[in-house]
Amino acid sequence: MNLDHELHRVLERTSAPEGFADRVLARLEQGQQPKRHRFTASTLRRIAAAVILTAALGGLTAHQIVEHRRTEGERARRELMTALHIASAKMRVAQRAVAHD
Amino acid sequence: MTRYLVNLLLALIASAAVPFTASAQGTRINLDLPDLAAKASETTDVTLDGAMLRLAGKFLSSTDADERAAKEMINGLSGIYVRSYEFDHEGEYDKSQAERIRTQLGPSWKKIVKVTSRTKEDVDIYVDTRGDNVTGLLIISAEPKEFTVVNIVGPVDIEKLAGLEGQFGIPHIYRDSKEKHGKDKHHD
**Which pLDDT score is estimated for B47?**
95
What is the three-class DSSP state of B8?
helix
Query: Is residue B69 domain-resident?
Result: yes
Categorize the per-residue pLDDT at A60 as very low, low, confident or very high, splitting at 50, 70 and 90: very high
Query: Is residue B6 domain-resident?
Result: no
Query: Is residue B144 domain-resident?
Result: yes
Categorize the per-residue pLDDT at B163 as very low, low, confident or very high, splitting at 50, 70 and 90: confident
**Separation of alpha carbons B126 and B136, rounded Å:** 8
Nearest by CB to residue B59, choosing from A73, A88, A96, is A73
- Look at residue B25 and tell me whether its pLDDT is greater than 80: no
Q: What is the mean pLDDT of residues B28-52?
A: 92
CB contact under 8 A, B55 and A89: no
Categorize the per-residue pLDDT at B159 as very low, low, confident or very high, splitting at 50, 70 and 90: confident
Q: Read out DSSP for B125-154?
A: EEEEEETTEEEEEEEEEEETTEEEEEEEES
- For residue B43, which phi and psi values (nearest 5 degrees)? -125, 135
- Look at residue B175 and tell me whether its pLDDT is greater than 80: no
- Kindly provide the ipTM of the predicted complex, given to two decimals: 0.74
Cβ neighbours of B143 (radius 10 Å)? 19
Query: Is residue B119 domain-resident?
Result: yes
Interior angle at CA B151, CA B161 and CA B136, nearest 5? 70
Biggest alpha carbon distance in chain A? 136
Query: Is residue B172 domain-resident?
Result: no
Interior angle at CA A98, CA A95 and CA A100, nearest 5? 110
CB contact under 8 A, B56 and A79: yes
Range of the domain at B146: 21-167
**Which pLDDT score is estimated for B186?**
34
Q: Chain A window 59-88: which residues touch B at a Cβ cutoff of 8 Å? A: 69-70, 72-74, 76-77, 79-88
Count up the domains in chain B and report the number.
1
Query: Is residue B151 domain-resident?
Result: yes
Strand order in the sheet with B109-115: B42-49, B79-86, B146-153, B133-143, B122-130, B109-115
Query: Is residue B188 domain-resident?
Result: no
